[in-house]
Amino acid sequence: MIKVKVPATSANMGPGFDSIGMAVKLYNEFAFDEANDGLNFNGIPKEFCNEDNIIYKAMKYCFDKAGYRFKGLTISVLNQHIPISRGLGSSSSCIIGGLVGANEIIKGKFSKDELLEMAVEIEGHPDNVAPALFGGIVVAIDEDNKTLYNKIEIKDKVKFVTIIPDFRLSTEEARKVLPKQISRADGIYNIGRAALMFSCFFTDRYDLIRSACNDALHQNYRKQLIPHFDEVYNKCYELGALGCYLSGAGPTIMAIIDNGADGFSNSIKQYLKNQNIKWEVFELQADNKGAVVIKGDC
């Protein structure tokens, strides 16, 4: 049996639309085994126990690339801590888990770079799958039908607080509210801030993260789909967050705080409780490893 652990991811990171993402220590864990015949699932809702399952499709994609033929598979979800359709890369964790698991079955035929290419072909863009695979903060782009990326590790001077609403928001729905064209001014606005975001983590200029988090391409449109967004977002800054942004397509709000800011999470939890906003709050460290094959027991 092969076991794979994949971290949650937070895409866009403010201005880095479809290009910047990071990994945090919240995980889904999977197990894979070849079977004599058929397709078997464990720990997965019945409606997803079929050939349309995203984990299976990723595995088959990898097997097909390798020309590998299998009689059957057993796919198990051992732990599912990444919430579904909340902007924390749940589907990307399934894709990466399936690809890494399949690659282990075929004795590591493909490199991580090749697995990334497959993941992007399946997902359509790299901002979640890249950090899920590599960890850290990853900037990734498509150039001549090839994914180019650069990763930096996140230092332990900051941590991340996920503020997770009690409803799902599909990426498809969140994309429908975006404009089909943007102005030159908005493009320039985001280019500068996306570059600043990456440089802040590279040079430890966390005092600049608030400005780096600002976005003109998606957040102002998508927040209309999220009740209480503005009040919670503003409260994060009031409580001392270094930066704050809509994670992925939403609805999760991600706050970046100083590693010594021990009271932030309790304060935002109390605020939500006082406002009768039933959202979950998790304080997380960065994950710099990405997807890993687990040796021994989970």
Point out the annotated binding site for ATP: 83-93
Of 252, 258, 234, residue with least CA distance to 88: 252
Look over the chain and give the mean of its residue pLDDT values, rounded to a whole number: 94
CB of 158 closer than 8 Å to CB of 200: no
Provide the pLDDT confidence category of residue 295 given band limits of 50, 70 and 90: confident
Residue 166 has pLDDT above 50, yes or no: yes
Residue 4 has pLDDT above 80, yes or no: yes
Find the helix packing angle between 54-66 and 90-105, rounded to 10°: 40
**222 vs 165: CA distance, rounded Å:** 14
Average the pLDDT over 111-131 and give the result.
95
pLDDT in tens, 171-229: 889 999 999 999 999 999 999 999 999 999 999 999 999 999 999 999 999 999 999 99
Average the pLDDT over 126-136 and give the result.
96
pLDDT in tens, 92-116: 999 999 999 999 999 999 999 999 9
- Give the right CATH number for 2-153+287-294 from 3.80.30.20, 3.30.230.10, 3.40.50.300, 3.40.50.720: 3.30.230.10
Average the pLDDT over 268-283 and give the result.
96
Average the pLDDT over 250-266 and give the result.
95
Average the pLDDT over 122-147 and give the result.
94
The domain spans of the chain are: 2-153+287-294, 158-284
Average the pLDDT over 151-168 and give the result.
96
**136 vs 22: CA distance, rounded Å:** 5
Contacts of 135 (CB under 8 A, 6+ apart): 7, 23, 151, 153, 286, 287, 288, 289, 290
Q: Identify the pLDDT of residue 296.
A: 57
Point out the annotated binding site: 83-93
Average the pLDDT over 225-251 and give the result.
96
Provide the pLDDT confidence category of residue 36 given band limits of 50, 70 and 90: confident
**217 vs 213: CA distance, rounded Å:** 12
Q: Identify the pLDDT of residue 298.
A: 42
Of 269, 209, 261, 212, residue with least CA distance to 235: 269
For 235-273, the three-class secondary structure string (H helix, E strand, C coil) is HHHHCCCCEEEECCCCCCEEEEEECCCCCHHHHHHHHHH
- Which long-range CB contacts under 8 A does 37-40 form with residues at least 24 apart? 37/71, 37/72, 38/72, 39/72, 39/73, 39/75, 40/72, 40/73, 40/74, 40/75
Alpha carbon separation from 260 to 243, 244, 256, 257 (Å, rounded): 15, 17, 12, 8
Contacts of 158 (CB under 8 A, 6+ apart): 206, 242, 256, 257, 258, 259, 286
- Give the right CATH number for 158-284 from 3.50.50.60, 3.40.1360.10, 3.30.70.890, 3.20.20.140: 3.30.70.890
Percent share of the chain, pLDDT over 90: 88
